[in-house]
């Protein structure tokens, strides 16, 4: 296994191949087969990197102004904000005893979701406001500037017997003026319709036009069951927190919460939308690509279409399904165009467009799409981490570090951002110290985070060739394995640990256990390339040379870079490793060279330090490749 990226039997028996055919290359337009072609490729990749960098530079200038930056006058300061812009900050629960954060979150989410349906308003996404936790001092002027929102809505909820009192306050943060506040009560076990009138009042205050269609949408209640709504908010929050750390477990928990919401209210449309997204993610990330999982995703989508066939959320659900389950980019784009018209304040539509652009190799377009998403979600640390991941593919580590530094300004304690920032130094300069120190700092701060950092703990320990640390990291690997660039069974990690301590017999036992598990996955998912790539690595570890190379090539053939530029490049990278483990040095070196000619995560630090590449060490051709990747300053 190697660097984390934004991403996991009956093999076909191909005809005999020549040595050149065994090296999987990019199409000629990318990889090049002659000196002229290589020069052209270098120019193309450089231009693409410049375009990507320009997108982030513009983004940083427009969306991350310094809070203390001077302004020429108060009127100029006020004019710098969109007049019809608003952010709904997290609500506080003032009830006696343990605060009911889910009730407060539900009210905030309901209001924010309704406001976002108004095209004439600019509404900041929930992700960007969630860091402003209630109970902490709030400088509204600074918050407004950070979010790019002229108006802020705050609120509280308080349980009083069998009722809940809700209070909200609207502030013109540009001028520091409280415009108005209002309160109302509702029964504790039902969702109030008062929010619709509140949203209409806010829109009137901001002089935002509301179309008849938007008015009808505002009058719709998501559900009348408050317990169902609480389960929905819990599931939605879990989906929003999905990143690299134990993503499979979080998705399973989200499905459980959303199933509970739908069990209480089978017509809960928004819960069905989130449930469809959860199944899409599980399928997309390769945790479960069985027909049964695909059927669950299809069932959820069919229900969504039945409940509200023309709603913006329905078009977004269709786009997610088409992209994540079928990689049908064109049809997904068509649905996203409809989503943008129906949900103008939904950053996810632009975010998803950016991911599709990236998978199709349209890197500058991806930067622009993600920039549009950040305008609506300016404090979304995950989006900045995704921009950093794009830079990683080009080995533009300085720009990658800058994007992650910005992410850490927003969420300084975010585990994934901290790990990723330290990881840059290993990949860029072959310096393991920052990642080593960050992993151990996180473990010291929270020992229960061991499962969340196990993948990078294992990676840095292998790079440092510390067998004892490798063993401790493997002990922390969840039973489901780890998900970095591919999905690796836990037994595969145990095999690497055995190799690290020189225990050949234990390594073989672990590889055999991993093979049994991976063969079962391959039978269940016969059309998913990454499964065969991992199986190829396992067979290479077992010395099953012909099977390993066949499986590695099969993986690349099933998911070429022309279909998926990110995951396809990962499979090309690992095919080189399979060749190296099988003793095919010439093929391995040719495969490495082919992978380095396209955007990929193959890096100086990985090749220089990781013991996986030891079979090639000492070969002057490999040493030259590593030396050429070494940073010059």
Same domain for 492 and 532, yes or no, is yes
Same domain for 547 and 436, yes or no, is yes
Q: Which residue has 């090539």 as its token pair?
A: 553
Same domain for 515 and 624, yes or no, is yes
Rounded to whole angstroms, the Cα distance separating 598 from 188 reads 57
Instruction: Read off the pLDDT band of 25 (50, 70, 90).
Output: low
Q: What CATH number is given to the structural domain containing 126?
A: 3.40.50.10610
Is pLDDT at 16 greater than 60 in this prediction? no
- Cβ contact 285:8 at 8 Å: yes
Is pLDDT at 313 greater than 90 in this prediction? yes
Is pLDDT at 6 greater than 90 in this prediction? no
Same domain for 131 and 240, yes or no, is no
Same domain for 24 and 157, yes or no, is no
Same domain for 265 and 132, yes or no, is no
Average pLDDT over residues 468-493: 94
SS (H, E, C) 148-199: CCCEEEEEEEEEECCEEEEEEEEEECCCCEEEEEEEEEEECCCCCCHHHHHH
Check residue 597 and report its DSSP letter.
T
Q: Say what percent of the chain tops pLDDT 70.
A: 85
Q: How many domains does the chain have?
A: 3
Rounded to whole angstroms, the Cα distance separating 418 from 442 reads 9
Answer yes or no: is 351 within a domain: no
CA-based nearest residue to 24, from 536, 594, 497: 594
- Cβ contact 365:385 at 8 Å: no
Three-state DSSP class for residue 92: strand
Same domain for 89 and 232, yes or no, is no
Rounded to whole angstroms, the Cα distance separating 609 from 210 reads 59
- Cβ contact 488:507 at 8 Å: no
Same domain for 25 and 128, yes or no, is no
Instruction: Read off the pLDDT band of 1 (50, 70, 90).
Output: low
- Write the pLDDT tens digit of every residue in 491-510: 999 999 999 999 999 999 99
Answer yes or no: is 63 within a domain: no
Among 272, 307, 342, where does a domain finish? 307
Same domain for 438 and 527, yes or no, is yes
- Write the pLDDT tens digit of every residue in 267-279: 999 999 999 999 9
pLDDT at residue 4, rounded to an integer: 45
- Cβ contact 360:333 at 8 Å: no
Answer yes or no: is 156 within a domain: yes
Q: Are strands 122-123 and 85-88 parallel, antiparallel or unpaired?
A: parallel
- Write the pLDDT tens digit of every residue in 509-560: 999 999 999 999 999 999 999 999 999 999 999 999 999 999 999 999 999 9
Domain that holds residue 545: 19-52+421-629
Same domain for 482 and 497, yes or no, is yes
CB hemisphere CA count around 471 (13 angstroms): 11
Answer yes or no: is 229 within a domain: yes
pLDDT at residue 106, rounded to an integer: 80
Answer yes or no: is 171 within a domain: yes
Q: List phi, psi (to 5°) of 152.
A: -125, 135
Q: What CATH number is given to the structural domain containing 429?
A: 1.25.40
Same domain for 477 and 615, yes or no, is yes
pTM of this structure: 0.80
CA-based nearest residue to 190, from 224, 238, 150: 224
- Cβ contact 380:347 at 8 Å: yes
Among 221, 249, 271, where does a domain finish? 221
Among 206, 221, 236, where does a domain finish? 221
Q: List phi, psi (to 5°) of 119.
A: -65, -25
Answer yes or no: is 92 within a domain: yes
Answer yes or no: is 203 within a domain: yes
pLDDT at residue 82, rounded to an integer: 83
Same domain for 93 and 181, yes or no, is yes
Regarding predicted confidence, which is higher, 533 or 108? 533
CB hemisphere CA count around 482 (13 angstroms): 27
Answer yes or no: is 377 within a domain: no
């Amino acid at each position: 296994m190697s660097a984390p990226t934004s991403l996991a039997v009956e093999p076909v028996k191909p005809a005999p191949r020549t040595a050149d055919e065994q090296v999987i290359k990019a199409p000629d337009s990318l990889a090049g087969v002659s000196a002229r072609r290589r020069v052209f490729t270098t120019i193309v990749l450089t231009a693409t990197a410049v375009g990507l960098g320009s997108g982030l530079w513009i983004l940083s200038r427009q969306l991350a102004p310094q809070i203390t930056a001077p302004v020429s006058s108060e009127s100029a300061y006020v004019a710098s904000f969109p007049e019809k812009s608003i952010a709904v900050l997290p609500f506080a629960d003032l009830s006696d005893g343990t605060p009911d954060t889910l009730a407060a979150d539900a009210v905030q989410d309901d209001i924010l979701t309704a406001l976002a349906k108004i095209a004439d308003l600019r509404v900041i996404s929930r992700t960007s406001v969630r860091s402003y936790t209630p109970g902490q001092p709030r400088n509204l002027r600074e918050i407004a500037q950070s979010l790019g929102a002229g108006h802020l809505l705050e609120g509280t909820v308080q349980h009083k017997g069998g009722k809940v009192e809700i209070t909200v306050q609207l502030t013109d943060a540009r001028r520091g003026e409280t415009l108005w506040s209002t309160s109302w009560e509702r029964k504790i076990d039902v969702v109030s319709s008062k929010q619709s009138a509140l949203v209409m009042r806010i829109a009137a205050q901001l002089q935002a036009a509301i179309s008849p269609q938007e008015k009808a949408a505002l009058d719709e209640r998501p559900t009348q069951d408050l317990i169902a709504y609480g389960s929905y908010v819990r599931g939605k929050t879990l989906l929003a927190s999905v990143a690299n750390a134990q993503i499979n477990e979080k998705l399973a928990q989200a499905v459980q919460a959303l199933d509970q919401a739908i069990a209480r209210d089978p017509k809960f449309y928004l819960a069905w939308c989130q449930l469809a997204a959860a199944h899409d993610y599980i399928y997309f990330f390769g945790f479960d690509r069985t027909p049964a999982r695909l059927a669950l995703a299809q069932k959820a989508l069919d229900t969504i279409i039945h409940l509200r066939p023309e709603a913006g959320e329905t078009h977004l659900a269709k786009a997610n399904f088409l992209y994540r389950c079928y990689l049908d980019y064109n049809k997904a784009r068509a649905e996203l165009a409809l989503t943008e018209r129906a949900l103008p304040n939904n950053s996810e539509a632009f975010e998803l467009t950016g991911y599709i652009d990236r998978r199709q190799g349209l890197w500058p377009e991806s930067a622009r799409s993600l920039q549009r998403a950040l305008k609506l979600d300016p404090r979304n640390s995950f989006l900045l981490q995704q921009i950093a991941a794009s830079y990683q593919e080009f080995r533009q580590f300085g720009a990658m570090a800058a994007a992650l530094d910005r992410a850490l300004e927003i969420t300084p304690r975010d585990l994934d951002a901290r790990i990723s920032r330290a990881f840059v130094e290993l990949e860029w300069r072959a310096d393991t110290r920052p990642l080593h120190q960050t992993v151990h700092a996180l473990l010291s701060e929270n020992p229960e985070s061991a499962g969340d950092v196990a993948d990078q703990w294992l990676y840095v320990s292998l790079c440092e060739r510390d067998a004892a640390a490798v063993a401790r990291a493997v002990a922390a690997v969840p039973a489901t394995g780890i998900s970095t660039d591919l999905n690796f069974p836990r037994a595969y990690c145990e095999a690497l640990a055995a190799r690290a301590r020189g225990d050949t017999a234990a390594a073989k036992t672990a590889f055999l256990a991993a093979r049994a598990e991976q063969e079962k996955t391959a039978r269940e998912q016969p059309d998913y390339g990454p499964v065969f790539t991992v199986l190829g690595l396992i067979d290479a570890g077992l010395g099953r040379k012909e099977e390993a190379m066949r499986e590695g090539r099969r993986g690349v053939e099933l998911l070429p870079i022309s279909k998926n530029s990110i995951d396809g490049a990962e499979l090309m990278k690992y095919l080189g490793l399979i060749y190296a483990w099988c003793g095919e040095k010439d093929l391995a070196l040719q495969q490495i060279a082919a992978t380095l000619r396209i955007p990929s995560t193959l890096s100086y630090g990985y090749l220089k330090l990781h013991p996986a590449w030891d079979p090639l060490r000492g070969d002057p051709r490999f040493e030259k490749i590593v030396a050429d990747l070494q940073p010059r300053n």
